Amino acid sequence: MFKFLDKILKNIYKFSGYIAAMFLILVAVFILIGISSRIFGFYIRGLAEYSGYCMAAASFFALAYTFVEGGHIRITLFLEKLSGKNKWLIEIWCLSVASFFSGYLAFYFIKMLIISYKFQERSEGADEILIWIPQTSVAIGSVIFFVSVFHQFILNLKK
């Protein structure tokens, strides 16, 4: 059962990375449209805001995938000097602290999303989009990141 859940979670992290790549492509498309619109003399409202929203979404969806693949800056320089039980204890301590703070982050992004939805907040940009729409991707990405950190914590506990 645990191996099945482990496989599903790793697929979710990989899918999250694909979603991040898709949002990065959208950033490039919006920037190119903005540049070409200036060249051809017309203006499309909100392109700068949409590229910013896509960049935030890409950043948060990429967190879990990058963490699982070992792309985040970690304490490996310090851990390489340790071995055995000391290394395991430090890894557990670091992952427990990271789990706490990533869970805290996810909790408050969800709380922010709920408040924005409840009050129907709008962006201050030219597009006046409902702000909960781009906040949804940030909240989902932070939850997936929390799950990935906690998952790694559980895997290290089993060692």
Residue range 2-30: average pLDDT? Answer: 94
pLDDT tens-digit map of 57-68: 999 999 999 999
Q: Is the pLDDT of residue 79 over 80?
A: no
Return d(Cα 4, Cα 36) in angstroms, integer.
Answer: 48
Q: What are the φ/ψ torsions at residue 56 (nearest 5 degrees)?
A: -65, -45
| Residue 125 DSSP symbol | S
Which two three-digit tokens encode residue 53?
């929203």
Closest by CA position to 142, among listed 71, 33, 67, 31: 67
pLDDT-above-70 percentage for the chain: 97
The full set of domain ranges for the chain reads 2-157
Return d(Cα 21, Cα 93) in angstroms, integer.
Answer: 32
pTM of this prediction? 0.89
Which two three-digit tokens encode residue 96?
């427990």
pLDDT-above-90 percentage for the chain: 62
